[in-house]
Structure 1
């Protein structure tokens, strides 16, 4: 389970995606240029939900079979990167603030 301890850690994760997958971030930024704040927030929420779902599938397979399938691992990694990219873009559009994130008692998923 991912625990938030400081906003600097969140910034490190979201800005790290720019280094790990710059083409994904560029694609998300181009898409966000055509969206309003509510649509960006909706895409971020969808990305977080998909990342959580993929993590649950991976965890289930690991618990049931001792290891996750390659598809589950790849899906989990992709959705994590997609959520990080949308988080970065949301922060750039000032949709994510430390107060909002820490209002969740430090629990993301």
Structure 2
């Protein structure tokens, strides 16, 4: 399971998503332009929940069958990237701060 230990690592993940998937980040930024801060926060929460669900499914398949299916692996990776992109946009809109993340032990799921 994916755990972040500090805000610096989160900044690295967010920056990394800009490098590894710039089209996704651009798409999320365009979508966020028409949203207010509460809607952006809602989208971030949904993305984190979906990433956690995908990670749990992947972990279940690995435990149950010895390996996860290709679909579970791809879905988990996509949902992690989506959550990272929404986290980046939320940070750009000053919706998350280091204090918020550290208060929740720094874990995404």
With the shorter chain as reference, the TM-score category is: over 0.9
RMSD: 1.0
CA offsets 1:18-75 (integer angstroms, 9 cap, x no match): 0000000000000000000000000000000000000000000000000000000000
The residue number in structure 1 matching 2:54 is 54
Number of residue pairs matched? 109
User: Aligned partners of 1:5 and 1:63: how far apart in 2?
Assistant: 25
- Cα distance in 1 between the residues matched to 2:5 and 2:55: 21
Q: TM-score, normalised by structure 2?
A: 0.95
Structure 2 residue runs without a partner (length 5+)? none
Task: Quote the residue 1:4 is aligned against.
Answer: 4
Q: Match of 1:27?
A: 27
Partners in 2 of 1:57 and 1:3 — Cα distance? 16
Write the mapping of 1:27-46 to structure 2, written as runs, cut at 5 A: 27-46=27-46
- What runs of 5+ residues in structure 1 fail to find an aligned partner? none
Residue 91 (structure 2) aligns with: 91
> CA separation in 2, counterparts of 1:13 and 1:49?
17
Query: How far is 1:7 from its partner?
Result: 1.4
Deviations 1:69-91 (A, max 9, x none): 00000000000000000000000
Shift >6 Å, 4+ stretches: none
